[in-house]
Chain A
Amino acid sequence: MAAIEIENLTRMYQKYSARHRFKTFKSAMIKGDFFKSLKPDEKVTALDNVSFKVEKGTTFGVIGENGSGKSTLLKVVTGIAKPTSGRVVVNGKVSALIELGAGFHPEITGRENIYINGIMLGLSKKEINDKYEGIVKFAELENFIDAPVKTYSSGMYMRLGFSIAINVNPDVLLVDEVLAVGDASFVPKCLDRIQDFSRRKKTILFVSHDLGTVEKICDQVAWLKKGRIQTIGEPRRVIDAYLQDVAEKQEEDFEMGKVKAGKEKKCEEERRENRWGKREIEIKKVKIMGLDGNEKHVFSPQDGIVIEMDIEASASIKDFVFGIGIFNSQRVFCYGTNTLLEDFQPVSIQGKGKAVFRIDCLNFVNGIYYLDVAVHKRDGYPYDYHRNLYSFLITSKHKDDGIYRPKHSWEFSPEIKIKFSKGV
């Protein structure tokens, strides 16, 4: 039997403008069409025809960008929000970790809040008595439990909230991005507790931006995009598709940003700061592409990159060097080379031409990179120097650090017990 069944669920939110509200107050007074006038003038669809099933005993992940409807989905499953249309069936007792400590009253003590919060979550007084010790211990608040909650740090607040909610012992647990505040030792403890849940064959609906955790603990993942289910299925596949989409969006943003910047920077003055030289040889245009020759600006570390320069020389020139420099966002010079250093001897150049620089595998870590391109004399006299005028972005699922990401691998002798969790 499915623990959660959702069929054609649509949830709209209503937007009332301030003006409209005033109008309704008046019209409500005059015409008496009170309920009618409370109808909104604009609707926002938060969930659009969503259907899925979560089998009993499985952990189901929901991923998606901000505003894609994840939290609304959880609220509808909890029953806090009602579906506009469609059907939601939940079998069993639900506990939601939507906002930890939502019902805490700041003026009264942690102890009293445990009782009140527990009762709100559906426990009886006796049950709370039985679980009280465990709750306090798990929250690591033995010394502060008789202090008013307003004196707690946000971490303590969150720990207490989590501890109460997890001790409700529901059949279906809903988790919404609540672990973000926990410290390095508490978060694993919570995750442990959540996994313990799934071992006991309870159902979990898990909403998170932490794709690594989602892949680790979920059996199935749904990707929500603008209120619709984009893909649903095996975690690895869905997460990959999601990341791909995010990369594409970043690419778009990047392009938009560039177009905008290009428009604004039309004035030569600003450009001059980053571009100098008398342009006897001019770099007319620089194109950044993938190895397949399609223009793009977002790469993954193992991708290659092609930088193509359109060159035009006004006269025949015999002394010229093409150079490239790559900087990261902190303006650290990551790599630089030129044709002279690599033993190319200039012969002559005139008219139009193309110079293409190609890296087969970027091997940089995450981040934005800026490009210097230049053509100059052997002694350094610049014909045309473009400083940091171009940029590209590297995104990777790994959060490794530094600048350079050499090709590498790990090996362990059998005494070391270590598991590869396919990490994201």
Chain B
Amino acid sequence: MLQLIKKLKNLYKYRVLIQTLVSRELKARYRGTVLGFLWSFMNPMLLLIIYTLVFGFIIRPRIEEFGSSPWLYALFLFCGVLPWQVWFVASSLESANVLMTQGNLIKKMLFPTEILPIVVVTSNFIHFLLGLPILLISVPILGKTYTPYLLFLPLVMLVQYVFTLGFCFLISALTVHFRDIKDILANLLTFWFFLSPIIYPVTFENIQKHAFLRLFMDLNPITHIMWNYQNCVFYGEMIRWKRLGVTFLASLVLFFVGYYIFDKLRDSFPEEV
């Protein structure tokens, strides 16, 4: 454990490298496109439009909270979909590949490999941040008001950051040895999406009815992260401190477990990727 922390501290020396790689990632992503950086805003916008169309107008919410307003429901959806899709899913899928696509770096250059998943998570975090204004702008447009609880958003982001990073350490290290994970992952993430309170609220009666489903919900860290996003932006309520705190601890555990496994497998990367 101490050794791990020492290694993490050592990473601080590489902050400039992480910074440069993240900016390389951001620069390279939209290089060659006509809209360039605008895509960082366009993508979440399109996402919002699609979800509003499908879930708001075609499927129509039957959840009491939103009345029959598709607009309110769209805003609610967007609170969860943005951090989930733009940040968590994008990071997970990318980090399943990152050690292979950047294999050249691992094999030919000397630098701490854990930088690669860190760069993936961080650059997707920045994409998420760029999409955040779209979410915030749409709050009054779609019929809600700003509340001071918005100020707690960074806290929720921190928890998600730690959780995502831990998950990505795990995924990226394991995929090197078991390439099958790449294929499982996309399906797993879809399943996870529907099991988390993103397209329905935690209080959704069908879930609250079943003790088993409720327990399952509570054990899912994403539940609490998403719920708290919704609290800050949609409901305008106080963060559920206990839930967020426990989730943070769980995220820390995942982070260290992920980092530990990554560290254990590190020496096998140059020959396996």
Q: Do A and B come from one complex?
A: yes
Task: Name the one of A21, A112, A120, A124 contacting B109, with C-beta atoms under 8 angstroms.
Answer: A120
Is A98 in contact with B177, judged by CB distance below 8 angstroms? no
Given known contacts A80-B107, A80-B270, A120-B109, A148 and B177 CB-to-CB distance under 8 angstroms: no
Determine if A105 and B108 form an interchain contact, defined as CB atoms under 8 angstroms apart: no
Determine how close the nearest CB of chain B comes to the CB of A399; give it in whole angstroms: 31
Cβ A102 vs Cβ B31 within 8 A: no
Is the beta-carbon distance between A107 and B107 smaller than 8 angstroms?
no
CB distance from A283 to the nearest CB of B (A): 55
A82-B267 in contact given A102-B105, A115-B20 (Cβ < 8 Å): yes
Structural contact, A25 and B21, CB atoms closer than 8 A: no
Q: Are B32 and A14 in contact (CB under 8 A)?
A: no
Given A80-B110, A102-B108, residue A108 in contact with residue B180 (CB < 8 A): no
Given contacts A80-B270, A116-B21, contact A125 B108 (CB under 8 A): no
A14 partner residues in chain B, CB cutoff 8 A: 268, 271
Chain A interfacial residues counted at CB < 8 A: 30
A357 interface residue, CB < 8 Å from B?
A: no
In angstroms, Cα B177 to Cα A214, docked, is 39
Residues of B with C-beta under 8 A to A115: 20
A345 to B180, CA, bound (A): 82
Interface residue? B214 (CB, 8 A): no
Whether B268 and A38, one on each chain, are in contact in the complex, defined by CB atoms closer than 8 angstroms, is yes
Any B CB within 8 A of the CB of A78:
yes
B17 within 8 A of A: yes
Q: How far is the CB of B18 from chain A (nearest CB, A)?
A: 10
Q: Chain B: how many interface residues by the 8 Å CB criterion? A: 26
Contact of A102 with B177 in the complex, beta carbons under 8 Å: no
Q: Which chain B residues (82-121) contact chain A, with CB distance < 8 Å?
A: 104-111
Pair A108/B104 contact, Cβ less than 8 Å: no
Task: Report Cα–Cα, A56/B28, bound state, in Å.
Answer: 41
Closest-CB distance, A70 to chain B (whole angstroms): 15
Report the Cα distance A79→B107, complex, angstroms. 10
B24 beta carbon closer than 8 Å to chain A: yes
The yes or no answer to A35 lying at the interface (CB within 8 A) is yes
Known: A25-B180, A119-B17, A120-B17. A80 touches B28 (CB 8 A): no
In Å, the complex CA distance between A80 and B32 comes to: 34
Given contact pairs A13-B271, A103-B104, A35 touches B24 in the complex (Cβ within 8 A): no
- Bound-state CA distance A116–B17 (Å) is 7
B212 within 8 A of A: no
Q: B31, B32, B106, B180 — which one has the most chain A CB atoms within 10 A of its CB?
A: B31
Do B27 and A108 touch (CB < 8 A)?
A: yes
Q: Which of B47-92 contact A (CB under 8 A)?
A: none
Say yes or no for B137: interface residue by CB 8 A criterion: no
In this assembly, does B194 line the interface, its C-beta being within 8 Å of a C-beta of chain A?
no
B104→A99 contact, CB < 8 A: yes
- Interface residues in A1-58 by Cβ distance below 8 A to B read 13-14, 21, 25, 35, 38
Give complex CA distance A35, B268 in Å.
12
Residue-wise interface mask of B (15-53) relative to A, using a CB-CB cutoff of 8 A (1 in contact, 0 not): 011001100100110011000000000000000000000
Known contacts A38-B268, A81-B270, A105-B28: A119-B20 contact under CB 8 Å: yes
- A75, A81, A108: the one contacting B28 at CB < 8 Å is A108
| CB pair A103 B109 closer than 8 Å | yes
Residue A96 interfacial (CB < 8 Å): yes
Contact: B177 with A125, CB < 8 Å? Answer: no
CB neighbours of A94 from chain B (8 A): 110
Q: Choose from B16, B27, B106 the contact partner of A124 (Cβ within 8 Å).
A: B16
Q: What's the Cα separation between A119 and B21 when bound, in Å?
A: 10
Query: Which of B106, B111, B265 gathers the greatest number of chain A CB atoms within 10 Å?
Result: B111
> Chain A residues near B270 (CB, 8 Å)?
75, 80-81
Interchain CB contact (< 8 A) of B31 among A80, A99, A107: A107
Q: What is the minimal beta-carbon distance from B11 to any residue of chain A, in angstroms?
A: 14
Given A80-B270, A120-B17: A108 and B31 within 8 A (CB)? yes
Q: CA of A277 to CA of B24 in the docked complex: distance in angstroms?
A: 76
Q: Please determine whether B109 and A25 come into contact, CB atoms closer than 8 angstroms.
A: no
Q: Which of B21, B27, B110, B177 contacts A21 (CB 8 A)?
A: B177
Contacts of A105 in B (CB 8 A): 24, 28
Look across to chain A and name the residue whose beta carbon is closest to the beta carbon of B178: A25
Q: Are B16 and A125 closer than 8 Å at their CB atoms?
A: yes
Is A96 a contact of B110 with CB atoms below 8 Å? yes
The residues of B that contact A108 with a CB separation of less than 8 Å are 24, 27-28, 31
Scan residues 314-345 of chain A and give those whose CB is less than 8 A from a CB of chain B: none
Give the CA-CA distance A99 to B109 in the complex, in Å: 8
Inter-chain contacts of A21 with B (CB < 8 A) = 177-178
Return the chain B residue nearest A37 by Cβ: B177
Q: Show 12 A/B contacts (Cβ-Cβ < 8 Å), sorted by A.
A: A14-B271, A35-B264, A38-B177, A82-B267, A96-B108, A96-B110, A102-B104, A102-B108, A103-B104, A103-B109, A115-B20, A120-B105
Please give me the 6 A-B residue pairs with the lowest Cβ-Cβ distance, nearest first.
A102-B108, A107-B28, A99-B108, A107-B31, A79-B110, A119-B20
Known A-B contacts: A80-B108, A112-B27, A120-B109. Give 18 more (CB < 8 A). Answer: A13-B271, A14-B271, A21-B177, A35-B264, A38-B177, A78-B110, A80-B107, A81-B271, A82-B267, A98-B109, A105-B28, A112-B24, A115-B20, A116-B20, A116-B21, A119-B17, A119-B20, A148-B31
